[in-house]
Structure 1
Amino acid sequence: MTKEKVDFDQYTDSYNALLREGTQFFSANEEYFARYKVDVVRDIVTTPVKRVLEYGCGIGRNVPFLQQAFPDAEVIGTDISAASLETARHDMPDVRFEVEREDLELGQFELIFVAGVFHHIPQSERAGAMNTIARRLTANGSAFVFEHNPYNPVTRRIVNNCPYDADAVLLKPSELRGLFSGAGMRPSAKEYCLFVPPRLSALSGLEKYLGWLPLGGQYWVRGDRT
């Protein structure tokens, strides 16, 4: 059954509050999730980065962390929600934000960051979205896509109870890897993540050893354009 698509313009003012409410069992600070994912990418990317795109940036929650992680790079954000981008522009007037559309030309990027976007894209449109990402990557550029882990029952419960996830159809890692391959990119790495809450920071060192275990709250896949 096709789910009715969520209008994210309706959640612009309440996005962070809803996120905090839905994930408070893990962390009461919604910034934790943004910093965590950007840190994962920063630890992996060792080549120079001049331009970074966040595809599906919403209200721009991840952008400051991307700027901190890649201080010499231009960071640009796109999203289909014009209202969300207005909030982002208000908070970060020096950053370029654009409404995502099929004919949008932004040039190419060494790094594209995508966090929790594809489960909102209708399944019939996911290949087209990945083709757009591939087209915007430089040769040898990389895209990192973070998604909810459908194998984790807590994650599924959070998604099922979240208003702005009403249209969500979770992807298995195999589907995401297939989308990368179908767009002409090489899926070069995959790990599960978000195992240890920040309140158990003494155990955070275990995260790097658990990437193979399909019990993390989320997972990520890296795709390289060759």
Structure 2
Amino acid sequence: MTNRVDFDQYTADYNKLLQERTDFFTKDDGYFARYKVDLVKSKLKTPPRRILEYGCGIGRNISFLQKCFPEAAIVGTDISAASLDIAREDYPGVQFILEDESLSNHDTFDLIFIAGVFHHIPVIERDKVAQKLRQRLSSDGDIFIFEHNPYNPITQRIVSTCPYDDDAVLLRPKELRQRLSGAGFQVKETDYCLFVPPSLPKLIWLERYLARVPLGGQYVLHAKK
């Protein structure tokens, strides 16, 4: 694996780089964030009171979390100080914390939302991160982790040509399940997603029937403490 990517270098161009690699699927740069948050909301039985987005970056998912869970207090953490500076400007009502600096070990959350982060975590550190996330989850909380699907050739191509994915080591769903189970999580389900582009709205309903087919652009793991 190459050296870990410094996301501070990509904060200004992050949205542009992402759009360049995904506009074949949709030209709506908010689609993926909205899709993921809506999917999480559909699987929750009780609205969360406190939400942690681990690896929030510049805050692309924050507005959708706010819309879907308007009563929740939201905290975003990341290892990129420059990304958090942008997020703070755009979402002044949200608390953003540089990872491991100020978040108390006693802070717990009803929902932990993670999108496209684990493939950037060095393999040797993934178990430690899983254990840390379990400490941050409330006793009846839910964690949802979205990851790139390594079985999808288009996803593989996007990752291989994206400059801020130079350090990416994609995880098979089995690895992610094992790491979370090893940290003490109860893994509830793993579904594949992002099959149908929004330009084909009449076919979106197929997504729920394809959730077990390992061809979606990404997959989502749902676990509890």
Tell me the TM-score normalized by structure 2: 0.97
Q: Is the partner of 2:200 in helix, strand or coil?
A: helix
Tell me the TM-score normalized by structure 1: 0.97
Distance 1:96 1:86 in 2: 11
Distance 2:181 2:47 in 1: 24
Provide the residue aligned with 1:67 in structure 2: 66
Distance 1:184 1:71 in 2: 30
**Partners of 2:19 and 2:27 within 8 A in 1:** yes
Per-residue CA deviations over 1:162-188 (Å, capped at 9, x if unaligned) read 000010000000000011101101011
Q: Is the partner of 2:199 in helix, strand or coil?
A: helix
Provide the residue aligned with 1:76 in structure 2: 75
Deviation of 1:104 after TM superposition, in Å, equals: 3.1
Provide the residue aligned with 1:43 in structure 2: 42
Provide the residue aligned with 1:22 in structure 2: 21
Deviation of 1:102 after TM superposition, in Å, equals: 6.9
Provide the residue aligned with 1:206 in structure 2: 206
Per-residue CA deviations over 1:64-103 (Å, capped at 9, x if unaligned) read 1011111111011000000000000011111100000277
Provide the residue aligned with 1:223 in structure 2: 223
**Partners of 2:50 and 2:73 within 8 A in 1:** yes
Q: Give the gaps of 5 or more residues in structure 2.
A: none
Q: Is the partner of 1:169 in helix, strand or coil?
A: coil
When structure 1 is superposed on structure 2, of 80-89 and 24-33 the one drifting more is: 24-33
Distance 2:98 2:104 in 1: 11
Distance 1:75 1:41 in 2: 15
Q: Give the gaps of 5 or more residues in structure 1.
A: none
Q: Is the partner of 1:46 in helix, strand or coil?
A: coil
Percent sequence identity is 57
The answer to whether residue 147 in structure 2 is matched with residue 147 in structure 1 is yes
Provide the residue aligned with 2:57 in structure 1: 58
Distance 1:147 1:51 in 2: 23
What amino acid does structure 2 have at the position aligned with 1:30?
D
Distance 1:56 1:26 in 2: 24
**4+ aligned runs moved over 6 Å, structure 1:** none
**Partners of 2:47 and 2:69 within 8 A in 1:** no
